[in-house]
Amino acid sequence: MYLFLDWFFTALHLIIIGFNLVGWIWRKTRALHFVFVLLTAGSWLILGIWFGLGYCPITDWQWQLKEKLGETNLPNSFIKYFVDKVTGGDVSSTFVDIATASCFIAAVLLSVYLNFIKKKR
C-alpha cells in the first residue's frame, strides 16, 4: 500500500508541477492555473512561516511514506529529489531552488498577465 501511495504522490506532484508551469497556455485552464499557483505560493510562503520556506504538504506526506519504505536522507524539495533520481546525480539544491523559483515566478507573471491584464484589453 505504501508503494502505491508513493507512486500516487509522485504522479500528483508531477501533474501539479507541470500544470503550474504550463497551465497558463490554454485559455480554458488559465483561471484554474491562477488558483493553482496561488495555492502553491500560499503553501510555500504562508505555511512556510510555520514549517519552513517552500513547505509542501504533499511532499511532507510523501516523505513520511518514503521513510516507512526505508528511504533516508530525503531533501527538503520533491523537485530536488526527482531531479537527482532522473539524472542519477546530486544536483545542487541551491541550483534546483533557484531554477524552481525562477520558473514558478515566470509562470505566475504569465498567469497574472493573461488572466487580468491582457483580458481587460
- pTM of the predicted model as reported, rounded to 2 decimal places: 0.94
Burial of 23 (0-12, 13-18, 19+ CB in 10 A): buried
Domain hosting 50: range is 2-117
Residue pLDDT, tens place only, 67-117:
999 999 999 999 999 999 999 999 999 999 999 999 999 999 999 999 999
- Rounded to an integer, what distance in angstroms lies between the CA atom of residue 37 and that of residue 31? 10
For a pLDDT cut of 90, what percent of the chain falls above it?
A: 97
pLDDT higher than 90, residue 120: no
Handedness of CA 60, 89, 82, 106 (dihedral sign): positive
Q: What is the total count of domains within the chain?
A: 1
